Amino acid sequence: KLPVIIDCDPGHDDAVMLMLAVGSGLFDIKAITTSAGNQTQAKTLKNALKLKALLDVDIPIYKGCDKPLFRELIIADYVHGEMGMDGPILPEPVIEAEPLPAIEAIAKILTDSPEKVTLVPTGPLTNIATFLLAYPHLKSKIERISLMGGGAFRGNMTPTAEFNIYVDPEAAAVVFNAGVPITMCGLDVTHKALVFQEDIELFRAVGNKTGKVIAELMDFFSIFYRKERTELNGGAALHDPCAIAWLIDPSMFQSKACYVDVELTGKLTLGTTVVDFFDVLKKKPNVDFVYDIDRKKYIKLIYDSIQNLP
Ligand code: BDR
Ligand code: CA
């Protein structure tokens, strides 16, 4: 099993990402750390605890940073709702987060692990950047960072910037310049990783608790997409599970090794991932830039993983 630490801000698509990670049975999930993004840290942490209870897993959950490195937090309640994971009614968590802060937990896990560990961030990169700055010698223990964020040819917060990067661009710049192998599933691929109503009905028809919850999550999540992203023809962009799906089966995707950096000063382009797709800079690629997906295989992978869950 591939050892991973998942850093997320659940979040509807973060929730599906966790379900895929657990249900695939292919990962040794050493920890879940929570980022502030889709909602406040208090709410994303609570949602992670609810998911742990739902999936009945023994994965330690650690609370991450409350706000971006230098900026005020921007949340996406217009997509994810008041609680950050609105839709299904899940019981209030009785379990608690671990006492250790996320950054220290990541350091401890990497230090103790005999093998390199893959990091999977699907929210703003505040925790990962803070970790890299505080423990630079542990970079050698990171196998790869497979993240959801950014985009070469479109944005969703500004015309060119994607939410996770825009919320904490300085953190993103630290991560992209860390010298660690990165897989970037940005909007180029995630706006092709669509879930349609008929897929949602298939998830519901599995008949177990997780199938029902995932369908109710996607019902809520789709409201925003049908209203605000009519270009997607009724599909909702199921972003975050791409970062896990790529680790499971990269052959499902198209990617290109590219040099990528993050814009930190642009008047119109703050928080944009600048992807040198045509290698005009002749710089050493630091990112596997993922830009296409076999959508049917992706949905099937998620569908199959639900069967293995409670
Ligand atoms: C990203 O932003 C969040 O709203 C989603 O969970 C995803 O990680 C998409 O831009
Ligand atoms: Ca997310």
- Let me know the angle formed at the C-alpha of 109 by 190 and 260, rounded to the nearest 5 degrees: 35
Q: What are the pocket residues of ligand 1 if the criterion is a CB atom closer than 6 Å to any ligand atom? A: 11, 13-14, 38, 76, 79, 122-123, 148, 156, 162-164, 239-240
Nearest atom in ligand 1 to the alpha carbon of residue 9 is 6
pLDDT by residue (tens digit) across 117-157? 999 999 999 999 999 999 999 999 999 999 999 999 989 99
Distance between Cα 272 and ligand 1 center (Å)? 15
Distance between Cα 16 and ligand 2 center (Å)? 10
Residues 46-74 as b or e (16 or more Cβ within 10 Å = b): bbbbbbbebbebebebbbbbebbbebebe
Rounded-to-integer distance, Cα 309 and Cα 143, Å:
27
Q: Both tokens of residue 171? A: 């953190």
Rounded-to-integer distance, Cα 194 and Cα 254, Å:
16
Q: Is the dihedral of CA 159, 165, 166, 170 positive or negative?
A: negative
Q: Enter the pTM of the model.
A: 0.98
Three-class DSSP category at 136:
helix
Distance between Cα 280 and ligand 1 center (Å)? 29
Residues 198-232 as b or e (16 or more Cβ within 10 Å = b): ebbebbbebeebbbbbbbbbbbbbbebbeeebeeb
Question: Given this model, what pLDDT does residue 250 score?
Answer: 98
pLDDT by residue (tens digit) across 24-64? 999 999 999 999 999 999 999 999 999 999 999 999 999 99
Q: Whose CA is nearest to atom 4 of ligand 1?
A: 38
Rounded-to-integer distance, Cα 113 and Cα 115, Å:
5
